Amino acid sequence: MKTAAIFSLLLVASLFLMNGCGESTNQSPCNKPNISAGTECCLDQNNNGICDGSYGEIVQSKSVEDNFSNVTGFKHWGHMPITYKIENEALEKQINLTKTAFSKIEEEISGLVSFKEVQEDPDISLYYYITPKYDYDRNYIYAEALITESNDSMNLTIKGEITFYAGGLMCNTGYPALEVHEILHLFKMPHSPLTNSIMGRYAAETSADCKITKIDPEYISCLKYIYSNGELEKYTIFKGEVKGPCYFPNVVYEEESEYGCNNGWYQSVTKGYCCPNPNMKVVNDICVQNIIP
Residue 54 pLDDT: 39
37 by DSSP, 3-state: which? strand
Residue 96 pLDDT: 93
132 within 8 A of 54, measured Cβ to Cβ: no
Residue 60 pLDDT: 44
Please tell me the distance from the alpha carbon of residue 293 to that of residue 274, in angstroms, as a whole number.
Answer: 23
Q: What percent of the chain has pLDDT over 90?
A: 39
Q: Name the nearest CA neighbour of 152 among 87, 64, 226.
A: 64
Tell me whether residue 182 is exposed, middle or buried, using C-beta atoms within 10 angstroms of its C-beta: 0 to 12, 13 to 18, 19 or more. Answer: buried
The residue that leads in pLDDT, 293 or 267, is 267
Could you read off the pLDDT of 79-135 as tens digits, one per residue? 999 999 999 999 898 999 999 999 999 999 999 999 999 999 999 999 999 887 877
**Mean pLDDT of all residues in 19-26:** 37
The per-residue pLDDT of the chain, averaged, comes to 77
Q: Is residue 192 part of a domain?
A: yes
Residue 28 pLDDT: 53
Could you read off the pLDDT of 36-47 as tens digits, one per residue? 665 566 666 666
Range of the domain at 162: 57-210
Q: Is residue 125 part of a domain?
A: yes
Residue 21 pLDDT: 33
What confidence tier does 52 reach under pLDDT thresholds 50, 70, 90? low
The residue that leads in pLDDT, 285 or 230, is 230
Could you read off the pLDDT of 231-243 as tens digits, one per residue? 999 887 777 788 8
The residue that leads in pLDDT, 11 or 101, is 101
Q: Is residue 73 part of a domain?
A: yes
Could you read off the pLDDT of 136-156 as tens digits, one per residue? 666 778 889 999 999 999 999
Q: Is residue 32 part of a domain?
A: no
> Based on the structure, what is the number of domains in the chain?
1
For residue 50, is pLDDT > 90?
no
Q: Is residue 161 part of a domain?
A: yes
Could you read off the pLDDT of 168-221 as tens digits, one per residue? 667 888 899 999 999 999 999 988 877 788 998 766 555 667 889 999 999 999
CATH number, position 66: 3.40.390.10
Q: Is residue 89 part of a domain?
A: yes
61 within 8 A of 47, measured Cβ to Cβ: no
Q: Is residue 79 part of a domain?
A: yes
Phi, psi of 292 (to 5 degrees): -100, 120
Q: Is residue 74 part of a domain?
A: yes
**Mean pLDDT of all residues in 248-267:** 58
* DSSP bridge partners of 192: 200
The residue that leads in pLDDT, 180 or 280, is 180
